[in-house]
Amino acid sequence: MLEKKHLEFREKIRAFCLEKIAPVAATLDEEQRFLEENMVPLTEMGLFACLVPEKYGGREIDTLSYIISVEEASRVCGSTGITLAAHNSLGCYPIMKFGTEEQKQKYLPRAANGELLAFGLSEPDAGSDAGGTRTVALKKDDHWLMNGSKCWITSATRAFATLATAKTTDDPNDKAITCFIVEKDWDGYAVGKKENKLGLRGSDTAFLHFDDLKIPFENQLGEIGEGFKLALITLDGGRLSIGAMALGLGQGALDIALKYAAERHQFGKPIVANQGIQHRLADMATEIQAARLMIYEACLMKDAGVPFSRQSAMCKLYASEVATRTAASALTVLGAIGYLTGPYEAERIWRDVKLCEIGEGTSEIQRLVIARDMLKTMKTV
Ligand code: COS
């Protein structure tokens, strides 16, 4: 059972999302356009400042409240959900956790004020094998010199700065990587063309290219050689937010299916009068609620300082597979009309949700993380 403060927060965010985000969600998808018109309202609601401490201009809400905001945004617009998730979990959080005081003062107030941050880990040849990074940053005079490319970067075209990982040696046998905060305005930082995606078409995804990018020493984030662990710790939190995104998308699909099943008449009765439809809706609701409870519990674990890597992998794995099933079920309930782009938006959810099984670690990687943790601890629960 949620506490009163979480229930009130959810009501507030839900009303906001229905008023501001839902009306433009279809247009953003259709026009493949970034959610520009929502940047000011989202900033005013504090949704880019969720985790940032108040002393840096943030809202400093707990993880559960933040995750509820990603869930509610995704319930009406997956593109908004992923933009919030990437900025807060992958952009703000690592600076909060690993940044120097100067880095926090320099970047967090801007981030909390709606200037987006991005996270650059993946590369064309380093996806699931994130440690196989080829981007290199070598010390030269009074700076680092970075060369390489990052791919699938959420908000790449918008972000004023990116947290990018690189090897800090040209020794091919040394796989240690380090994280850096690099800024869009610097010479040598180039954004590739926006990707044409199956779903989440209102979020910007693109390559980043670094060509002799000069990085001041003070922009190294965390210790040299600790970038991989920094990334994995960051992804532990990020996977909760992708789970929340899946949860919201799945809930959105269920909302549409229930309403349609009650309204649509065939053979002289609403189709929901058929037990086959009722059972389908019941299964959808049950699985979504199970995913919700898993994710909410993992949020409490994170804030309590309890290790939650396995749980966050489980949350992402389960919620994204549930949401994929739920979105497909919603299309089945809607039949031919559900297959159309537009009238019921179930088709958009079906396209959006697939990313949840891929981004921030595929479902196969989540299974690997869960199994490895069980084997390491020899604890099944
Ligand atoms: N938190 C902190 N440390 C962690 C960790 C975590 N969640 N997971 C692993 N580590 C540590 C390990 O303990 C190990 O430390 P030592 O070198 O001191 O022993 C180190 O990190 C390397 O771990 P491991 O040997 O398990 O690394 P692997 O190369 O085998 O890869 C996986 C592990 C596959 C789990 C990792 O590469 C991964 O998550 N890949 C998916 C990446 C991904 O999600 N990409 C999408 C990015 S979208 S932004």
Same domain? 376 vs 236? yes
> Pocket residues for ligand 1 (CB within 6 Å)?
119, 121-122, 128, 130-131, 228-229, 232-233, 235-236, 309, 359-361, 365, 368-369
Same domain? 235 vs 372? yes
Transcribe 88-132 into DSSP letters.
IIIIIHHHHHH--HHHHHHHHHHHHTT--EEEE--BTTBSSSGGG
Nearest protein CA to atom 29 of ligand 1, as residue:
131
pLDDT (tens digit per residue) in 119-167: 999 999 999 998 899 999 999 999 999 999 999 999 999 999 999 999 9
Query: Any idea what the CATH number is for the domain that residue 140 is in?
Result: 2.40.110.10
Last residue of some domain: 224, 257, 283? 224
Same domain? 96 vs 202? no
Q: Which of 89, 232, 314, 315 to mutate to test the pocket of ligand 1 (most atoms within 8 A of CB)?
A: 232
pLDDT score, position 46: 98
The number of domains in the chain is 3
Last residue of some domain: 86, 115, 144? 115
pLDDT (tens digit per residue) in 221-238: 999 999 999 999 999 999
Same domain? 82 vs 122? no
Nearest protein CA to atom 14 of ligand 1, as residue:
229
Query: Any idea what the CATH number is for the domain that residue 270 is in?
Result: 1.20.140.10
Same domain? 237 vs 218? no
Last residue of some domain: 202, 224, 246? 224
Transcribe 185-243 into DSSP letters.
TSTTEEE-PPP--SS-TTS-EEEEEEEEEEEEGGGEESSTT-HHHHHHHHHHHHHHHHH
Atom number in ligand 1 closest to CA 86 = 49
Nearest protein CA to atom 18 of ligand 1, as residue:
229
The predicted model scores a pTM of: 0.97
Same domain? 110 vs 249? no
Q: Which residues contact 104 (CB under 8 A, 6 or more apart)?
A: 56, 95, 96
pLDDT (tens digit per residue) in 234-251: 999 999 999 999 999 999
Q: Which of 167-171, 234-238, 320-324 has the lowest mean pLDDT?
A: 167-171
Atom number in ligand 1 closest to CA 128 = 41
Q: How far is the CA of 259 from the centre of ligand 1 (A)?
A: 43
Same domain? 145 vs 179? yes
How far is it, in rounded angstroms, from Cα 372 to Cα 86? 26
Same domain? 165 vs 287? no
- For the cut 80, the answer to whether the pLDDT of residue 1 exceeds it is no
Nearest protein CA to atom 43 of ligand 1, as residue:
361
Same domain? 253 vs 359? yes
- Work out the average pLDDT over 165-188: 93
Same domain? 128 vs 187? yes
How far is it, in rounded angstroms, from Cα 55 to Cα 273? 55
Same domain? 232 vs 325? yes
- Work out the average pLDDT over 165-185: 93
* Helix, strand, or coil (residue 50): coil
Q: Which residues does the annotation mark as catalytic? A: 360
Q: How far is the CA of 128 from the centre of ligand 1 (A)?
A: 10
Structural domain of residue 235, as residue ranges? Answer: 228-380
Q: Which residues contact 31 (CB under 8 A, 6 or more apart)?
A: none
Query: Any idea what the CATH number is for the domain that residue 84 is in?
Result: 1.10.540.10
pLDDT (tens digit per residue) in 73-110: 999 999 999 999 999 999 999 999 999 999 999 999 99
pLDDT (tens digit per residue) in 34-76: 999 999 999 999 999 999 999 999 999 999 999 999 999 999 9
Same domain? 20 vs 148? no
Task: Please check whether residue 133 is in contact with residue 165, taking contact to mean a CB–CB distance below 8 angstroms.
Answer: yes
φ/ψ (deg, to 5) at 216: -60, 150
As given in the structure block, the two tokens for residue 165 are 């990982």
pLDDT score, position 304: 98
